[in-house]
Amino acid sequence: MEGIKLIVTLQGVIITFCLVGPLDSSLNQHLEALSDSSLLSTINEARQLVDSAYLRARKSLKQKLEEKVASPMDFLKHLKEPVGRTRCAVRAADYLETTLKLLKGKLQLLGKGRFNVTDLLDTKQKEMISRETGCDYHSIKCPEDDIYRTITGECNNRKHSHFGASNHAFVRWLPAAYEDGVSVPRGVSEGKLYNGFPLPLVRKVSNELARTGNENVTQDQELSLFFMHWGQWISHDIDLSPSSGAGANLNLHCETNCTFKSPCFPIKFPPDDPRVLRSNSCMPFIQSASVCNSRTFTREQINAVSSFIDASMVYGSEDSVAKSLRNQTSWMGLLAVNQNFTDAGLEFLPFENKTKSICVLTNKSMNIPCFKAGDKRVTENLGLSALHTVFLREHNRLVTKLGKLNPHWDGEKLYQESRKIIVAMTQIITYRDYLPLVLGEETNRWIPSYSGYNETMNPTVSNVFSLAFRFGHTSVQPFVSRLDDSFQPMSQLSHVPLHLTFCASWRIITEGGIDPLIRGMVVDQAKLMKQNQLLVEELQNHLFEQTAVMGLDLAALNLQRGRDHGLPGYNAWRRFCGLSQPQSVEELSEVLGNSKLAKKYMDLYGTPDNIDLWIGAIAEPFIPQGRVGPLLACIIGTQFRNLRDGDRFWWEKPGVFTLQQLHALKKVSLSKVICDNTHIKKLPQDMFQANTYPENFVDCHEIDMLNLSSDNLFQDIWSLSS
């Protein structure tokens, strides 16, 4: 039997080599590379290369922190650094990818011609590579009875325990579109034509279509800046593509080299770019980390957080992180708080390890590290940090309240019950208050009334949604304002350029806490997305510009990310959603409602088929009463329905809460959560609508509250059906 397998394998090898070129005298040596001993040797070589590269990356960051110097890319990498089980999963995928690259190099007979190395491997060899790289499948054993959702999202679906779980691949709604069909992003090969045209440089697209001067911003007359911040808050709950590990490129530095060599996928500057510093200048871009894919070996990106709306940004998406966030000195189930500073008597978030924190570089004299929360991006911007702080306090407030109502509960039950309520709050505010403002008149079309849990629904976040939901970048204002108790500007603190607030935890600690920020988020209006005002210059040129080095371009990063993730072009997604697929400038003009803009797109891309999804979708005119066009409404609406209907612990599912508790939870409001956890005394009932002080504001005691003690609703009476 083994002899038959060997003959079949050798025949496959010979046939493959005949397809790519003539055989030479070294064929035996190449066939030897497929023996068990040679495969193990190649795997060990790959592991050593990857481990060495990881070690070098850690030493490089440590040195930068010691020297107190870092680039904008260092800030981005820090925020998206894989931790815990994610790090192990990413490293295993790097082992696998590097093994296949080394093996292909050893099997290459000619300097030209292409072949997929996986076509040369039989099932046994693929299983060996998967096992030795750590990419073999590990089954998940689910408990028979579970009354609380897991931290990881595992076992939410009893039949498909990995649905929606952290550290699994984003799901694809359309097949991946890679240049080589496996992993190489489209646009890498200069001069290569797609649908008869080359892909434009993403930086050129950004300059010509996205760039908006900070002074050239139109205010959204209907929505507050809180609307934008809540979108990011929810995005961080369900989606995190960590940066790829260092890979095996020991001699390649992603910030100084303009050549594509995974994981370095640099963004090249066009010749006429105003920021070009040298002839070969480029902006660094590191590919998103991949996940083990031993079935097809196609590059699939990993989602490091659970897909479910489960407040993972508060609690974490893996058990070790969740445990590290808890107060280890108390039995009550509290979350840990800052031991060095308070916010006028209220808690701040705890700090991460100062020796490993890049936030200390944003103000070297203050030496204040990044905050620590369930999501590592907590300190990315001040508004995000404020929301994290509010929900940390709300958890601890609920724990204290429930502990008094149920003195016989232990700390674990207090923690889990409070977490359960926080999750319900997050789901309610998102679906009742936020999504209707995004989807407008099409809300009920995409997210009809809840009809129960659907165990056949896969709630896993889709790869395309992870890019499409970045539409919120077009709502970001270029300045951060902070207001005093009377909702008036706080002198020099009221108008800070956005790029000076990234990773600046010191500004919250030393410049008034979170209350002034929240007042600004409530009173300030969101930026209105207009076709000629897509992305403010603070994001398009100065992202993470905390040093003398020029900042990053968020629009270019989004476009490059779409290509890195193998996402098909604009028309493929229009087709997926049942929309027309424009082919000419006239047809594109009709879709966009703008002939001048349509010509710009055609001049850049040649055909609508090639338009990168993000830049095409955000330019579509809004659906009535919404803030996205038809394509984004389809993608976003579909995803959020999947997240709801595929969640066994959804707050409305019968048995999750009692009928009385459901009635009480419907009174939940973001306004009341903030009133309960800040010193702010007046707020609008609707935090997402544009508000003017004092006309739309009411005293906090006038806002409906979730009364835990009313009729013993949240005493020891509830249970969760399995």
Catalytic residue list: 236
The angle formed by the CA atoms of residues 541, 544 and 547, to the nearest 5 degrees, is 100
Pairing assessment for the beta strands 535-536 and 211-212 based on DSSP bridges: parallel
176 CA to centre of own chain: 19
**Cα distance between residue 229 and residue 523, in whole Å:** 13
Binding site as annotated, residues: 473
Q: How far, in Å, are 195, 377, 481, 484, 679 from residue 491 at the CA level?
A: 55, 29, 10, 10, 20
Binding site as annotated, residues for heme b: 473
**Cα distance between residue 271 and residue 696, in whole Å:** 51
CB of 577 closer than 8 Å to CB of 616: no
CB of 247 closer than 8 Å to CB of 101: no
**Encoded amino acid at 137, one letter:** Y
User: Among all chains, which residue has been given the structure tokens 């054993």?
Assistant: 141
Q: Which residues pair with 682 in a beta bridge?
A: 699
Q: Give the count of beta carbons closer than 10 Å to the beta carbon of residue 412.
A: 12
Q: How far, in Å, are 270, 283, 370 from residue 278 at the CA level?
A: 11, 12, 34
Q: Which two tokens stand for residue 557?
A: 């990063």
**Cα distance between residue 188 and residue 343, in whole Å:** 49
Say which DSSP state 683 is in. Answer: E
- If you write DSSP's letter for every residue of 172-194 in order, what string do you get? -SS----TTSSSPPTT-STT--B
Q: How far, in Å, are 234, 317, 423, 444 from residue 309 at the CA level?
A: 8, 11, 7, 19
In sequence order, the 6+-apart residues with CB closer than 8 A to the CB of 194 are: 186, 569, 609, 610
- Across 244-257, b (16+ Cβ under 10 Å) vs e yields bbbbbbeebebbeb
Q: Which of 192, 420, 162 is nearest to 306 (CA)?
A: 162
684 CA to centre of own chain: 30
Q: Which residues pair with 684 in a beta bridge?
A: 697
CB of 325 closer than 8 Å to CB of 345: no
CB of 206 closer than 8 Å to CB of 516: no
Sign of the four-CA dihedral 586, 592, 594, 600:
negative
Q: Which two tokens stand for residue 672?
A: 């009341």
**Cα distance between residue 28 and residue 466, in whole Å:** 46
Per DSSP, the three-state class of 117 is helix
**Encoded amino acid at 72, one letter:** P
Q: Give the count of beta carbons closer than 10 Å to the beta carbon of residue 646.
A: 23
**Cα distance between residue 662 and residue 646, in whole Å:** 19
Q: Which two tokens stand for residue 100?
A: 């296949």
**Cα distance between residue 369 and residue 372, in whole Å:** 9
